[in-house]
């Protein structure tokens, strides 16, 4: 070997010999940028912060927005509602929530005094009234007006009192003022009235965006990061205390999962949110950190409200028979599936509601793994084995197309497991996946599927109206409605329409229980499991409490602090 090359090889060997321990060395456990800052990494960038505009409904947008804006009521990680900008949550017992003789309702809210917008103007009733006005304006692209339309009017007998007049009963009347959140009237009225259809472009898309919350939007480097800094005038609420130790939160956007994980491993990321690390990657990362003996980074999987399931098209020749649908679920071993693929961290679901939901029916019928029963049901339904072992009836093979989003490794693994389990009972399943846009944009709304696996994202107050009501089945001509399986049960339809108007929670729970019993018996959908979301944070960051709901992890950002 020539001399020069020899020396170079020796040098390289020396570097690696000395540096080898550094290959598995721990990243710094402390904050990346000081004890007054948290660098929170996520995969997507928020579009905007208008609370009701359709394009601003992304989860990451609500994550940043919840540091800048505070609404009347907040939700904690234990799923308890807390009065934030109001003195108390109205209830029927105290009389600040009244049901009127004509079936209408009146809910009175008392706003906490002393809170201001970040320019010093007081937060008053007019700001909620204005937000509702914007939300309902015909020229403004709101995401949904379902709740806002149930309100006739909001009166303000004084600046700190709101009397909300509901046109019919609605159980969620004490969870938000009128379903429209809060917008600073004094700072946005002129802008809105000048061009209502362009308001979502004119406000909430950059600095400054005036908020009333514990943090102020300071910097937005589009495509790269958002920085919020502590509001010196923040008075504190039960969930979001005053004088936060963390004075600055830098939200950084990295769309590639591997690069994001590299930031976790290198110590640049103090924390990652619920959308940053996909479950399978989180599982692998957790194992890796354990094998490397690293305790400086904590990963946690929080079971949530994302419900993975398989919609069955009940108009299909085979699937219109309930016995076939039940046979399909008996034939699959969901417990083994979640243990093998997810190490049990994503729990099997038995109903369209998650266990944490207040109205979950614990006594609902459970379809445990029972291939013998599956075969018996299929035989009862008139299926006999063909020469290739696949069941058939009236000359039609029991062959079904199973679809989901292409490129999703977890879903593809699940499909393969289920496909082989169904084959053992004589059901042929062909996998045919599509890109998300085609799948969600056309296939599902047009009901051009036989079995379709995907997830719904629920809220803690979710109900079944729209999803399992017989009058919300979309058609190929009209994509509206989310009852993709085409489920029609008159009693379930009636119950699901009635639930939002039942004020007594105990009665609602009974109604939900009945709806779940019927639904589980009819089984228009195969419930699979509830997805868990991984978040990560450095071990030194305290009070990091993901909620597992649609409330993001920043719900208590002012309470975060670094341990010494």
Partner 1 sequence: MSRYLARRLLQMIPLVFGLSVIIFLVLALAPGDPVDLLIFGNPQIRPEDVVRLKHFYGLDQPMYLRYFKWLGAAVLHGDLGYSRTYKTPVFSLIGARVSNSLWLTIPAFFLALLVAVPVGIYSALHQYSARDYAATFLTFFGVSIPVFWFGIMMIYLFAVWHPWSAISALAWLRLPAGGFASSGVSEGVAVYADRIQYMILPVIVLSLLFMAGYTRFTRSSMLEVVRQDYVRTARAKGLETRVVINKHALKNAMIPLVTIIALSVPGLFAGAPLTETVFGWPGIGQLLVTSVQGADFAVAQGIIMVLAGLVIVFNLLADVAYALLDPRIRYD
Shortest distance, position 475 Cβ to partner 1, whole Å: 11
Window 476-515: contact mask with partner 1 (x via CB under 8 A): --xxxxx---------------------------------
SS3 of 158, please? strand
Nearer to partner 1, 39 or 556 (CB): 39
Window 366-405: contact mask with partner 1 (x via CB under 8 A): ----------------------------------------
Nearer to partner 1, 13 or 100 (CB): 13
SS3 of 396, please? strand
Nearer to partner 1, 78 or 258 (CB): 258
Shortest distance, position 476 Cβ to partner 1, whole Å: 12
Q: Is the distance from CB of 558 to CB of 240 less than 8 angstroms?
A: yes
- Which residues, numbered 256-315, are part of the site for partner 1 (CB under 8 A)? 256, 258-259, 262-263, 265-266, 268
Q: Is the distance from CB of 464 to CB of 447 less than 8 angstroms?
A: no
Count of residues near partner 1 by CB under 8 A: 75
Residue 276, Cβ density class (10 Å: 0-12 exposed, 13-18 middle, ≥19 buried):
buried
Nearer to partner 1, 60 or 520 (CB): 60
What is the distance between the alpha carbons of residues 417 and 404, in angstroms, rounded to a whole number? 14
- Which residues, numbered 145-174, are part of the site for partner 1 (CB under 8 A)? 145-146
Determine which residue in the list 122, 196, 466, 540 makes contact with partner 1, applying CB under 8 A.
466
Nearer to partner 1, 111 or 453 (CB): 453
Shortest distance, position 252 Cβ to partner 1, whole Å: 6
Nearer to partner 1, 208 or 441 (CB): 441
- Which residues, numbered 421-460, are part of the site for partner 1 (CB under 8 A)? 436-438, 440-443, 445, 454, 456-459
User: Could you tell me what percentage of the chain is helix, strand and coil, using 3-state DSSP and rounding each to the nearest 5?
Assistant: 30, 25, 45
Window 33-72: contact mask with partner 1 (x via CB under 8 A): x-----x-------xx-----xx-xxx-------------
What is the distance between the alpha carbons of residues 561 and 38, in angstroms, rounded to a whole number? 9
HSE-CB of 177 using CA atoms within 13 angstroms? 33
Shortest distance, position 283 Cβ to partner 1, whole Å: 19
DSSP letter at 101 equals T
Nearer to partner 1, 260 or 348 (CB): 260
Judged by CB under 8 A, the stretch of 63-71, 329-337, 472-480, 510-518 that binds partner 1 is 472-480
- Which residues, numbered 125-144, are part of the site for partner 1 (CB under 8 A)? 141-144
Cα→Cα distances 230→118, 141, 357, 420, 458, Å: 11, 31, 34, 55, 31
SS3 of 112, please? coil
Q: How many CB atoms lie within 10 A of CB 517?
A: 16
What is the distance between the alpha carbons of residues 377 and 318, in angstroms, rounded to a whole number? 13
Cα separation of the two ends of the chain: 54
- Which residues, numbered 10-29, are part of the site for partner 1 (CB under 8 A)? 15-16, 18-23, 27
Chain position carrying tokens 């649908």: 325
- Which residues, numbered 173-212, are part of the site for partner 1 (CB under 8 A)? 197, 200-201, 204-205
Closest C-alpha to 278, from 402, 389, 407, 95: 407
Shortest distance, position 236 Cβ to partner 1, whole Å: 25
- Extract the tokens encoding 406: 């292409």
Determine which residue in the list 463, 502, 522, 533 makes contact with partner 1, applying CB under 8 A.
463
Determine which residue in the list 270, 308, 321, 465 makes contact with partner 1, applying CB under 8 A.
465
What is the distance between the alpha carbons of residues 118 and 114, in angstroms, rounded to a whole number? 12
- Which residues, numbered 206-245, are part of the site for partner 1 (CB under 8 A)? 219, 221-225, 227
Nearer to partner 1, 429 or 525 (CB): 525
SS3 of 245, please? coil
Shortest distance, position 377 Cβ to partner 1, whole Å: 30
Shortest distance, position 19 Cβ to partner 1, whole Å: 3
Measured at the CA of 529, the angle between CA 527 and CA 532, to 5 degrees, comes to 150
Residue 275, Cβ density class (10 Å: 0-12 exposed, 13-18 middle, ≥19 buried):
middle
Beta-ladder partners of 39? 250
Judged by CB under 8 A, the stretch of 110-118, 159-167, 252-260, 488-496 that binds partner 1 is 252-260
Nearer to partner 1, 144 or 236 (CB): 144
- Extract the tokens encoding 410: 């977890």
Nearer to partner 1, 201 or 396 (CB): 201
Nearer to partner 1, 100 or 438 (CB): 438
What letters, b where the CB count within 10 A reaches 16 and e where it falls short, cover 349-365?
bbbbbbeebebbbeebe
- Which residues, numbered 72-101, are part of the site for partner 1 (CB under 8 A)? none
What is the distance between the alpha carbons of residues 64 and 47, in angstroms, rounded to a whole number? 11
- Which residues, numbered 319-358, are part of the site for partner 1 (CB under 8 A)? none
Nearer to partner 1, 123 or 310 (CB): 310
What is the distance between the alpha carbons of residues 189 and 195, in angstroms, rounded to a whole number? 10
DSSP letter at 382 equals T
DSSP letter at 234 equals -
Nearer to partner 1, 20 or 232 (CB): 20
């Amino acid at each position: 070997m020539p001399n020069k090359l020899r020396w170079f090889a020796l040098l390289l060997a020396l570097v690696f010999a000395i540096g080898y321990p550094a290959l598995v060395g721990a990243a710094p456990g402390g904050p990346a940028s000081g004890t007054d800052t948290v660098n929170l990494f996520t995969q997507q960038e928020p579009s905007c912060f208008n609370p009701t505009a359709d394009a601003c409904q992304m989860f990451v947008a609500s994550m940043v927005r919840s540091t800048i804006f505070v609404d009347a009521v907040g939700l904690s990680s234990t799923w308890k509602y807390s009065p934030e900008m109001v003195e108390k949550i109205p209830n029927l017992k105290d009389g600040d929530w009244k049901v009127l003789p004509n079936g209408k309702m009146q809910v009175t809210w008392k706003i906490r005094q002393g809170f201001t917008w970040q320019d010093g103007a007081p937060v008053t009733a007019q700001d909620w009234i204005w937000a509702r006005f914007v939300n309902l304006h015909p020229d403004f692209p709101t995401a949904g007006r379902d709740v806002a339309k149930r309100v006739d009017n909001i009166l303000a007998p004084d600046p700190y009192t709101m009397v909300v007049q509901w046109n019919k009963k609605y159980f969620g009347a004490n969870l938000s003022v009128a379903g429209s959140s809060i917008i600073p009237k004094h700072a946005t009225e002129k802008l809105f009235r000048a061009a209502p259809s362009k308001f979502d472009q004119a406000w909430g898309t950059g600095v400054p965006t005036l908020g009333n919350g514990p943090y102020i939007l300071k910097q937005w480097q589009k495509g790269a990061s958002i920085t919020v800094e502590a509001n010196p005038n923040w008075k504190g609420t039960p969930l979001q205390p005053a004088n936060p130790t963390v004075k600055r939160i830098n939200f950084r956007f990295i769309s590639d999962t591997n690069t994001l994980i590299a930031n976790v491993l290198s110590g640049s990321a103090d924390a990652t949110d619920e959308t940053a690390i996909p479950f399978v990657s989180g599982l692998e990362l957790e194992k890796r950190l354990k094998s490397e003996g690293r305790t400086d980074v904590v990963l946690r999987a929080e079971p949530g409200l994302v419900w993975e399931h398989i919609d069955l098209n009940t108009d299909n020749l085979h699937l219109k028979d309930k016995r076939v649908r039940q046979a399909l679920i008996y034939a699959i071993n969901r417990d083994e599936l979640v243990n093998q693929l997810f190490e049990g961290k994503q729990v099997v679901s038995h109903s369209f509601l998650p266990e944490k939901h207040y109205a979950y029916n614990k006594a609902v019928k459970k379809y445990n793994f029972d291939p013998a029963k599956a075969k018996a049901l299929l035989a009862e339904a008139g299926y006999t084995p063909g020469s290739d072992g696949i069941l058939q009836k009236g000359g039609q093979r029991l062959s079904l197309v199973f679809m989901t989003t292409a490129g999703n490794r977890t879903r593809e693994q699940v499909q393969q497991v289920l496909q082989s389990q169904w084959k053992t009972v004589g059901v042929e399943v062909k996998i045919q996946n599509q890109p998300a846009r085609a799948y969600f944009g056309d296939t599902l709304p047009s009901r051009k599927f036989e079995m379709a696996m995907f997830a719904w994202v629920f809220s803690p107050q979710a109900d079944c109206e729209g999803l399992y009501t017989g009058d919300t089945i979309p058609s190929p001509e009209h994509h509206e409605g989310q009852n993709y399986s085409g489920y029609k049960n008159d009693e379930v339809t009636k119950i699901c329409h009635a639930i939002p108007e039942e004020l007594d929670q105990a009665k609602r729970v009974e109604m939900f229980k009945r709806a779940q019993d019927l639904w589980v018996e009819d089984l228009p959908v195969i419930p699979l499991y509830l997805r868990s979301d991984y978040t990560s944070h450095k071990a030194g960051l305290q009070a990091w409490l993901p909620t597992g709901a649609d409330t993001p992890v920043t719900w208590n950002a002012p309470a975060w602090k670094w341990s010494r």
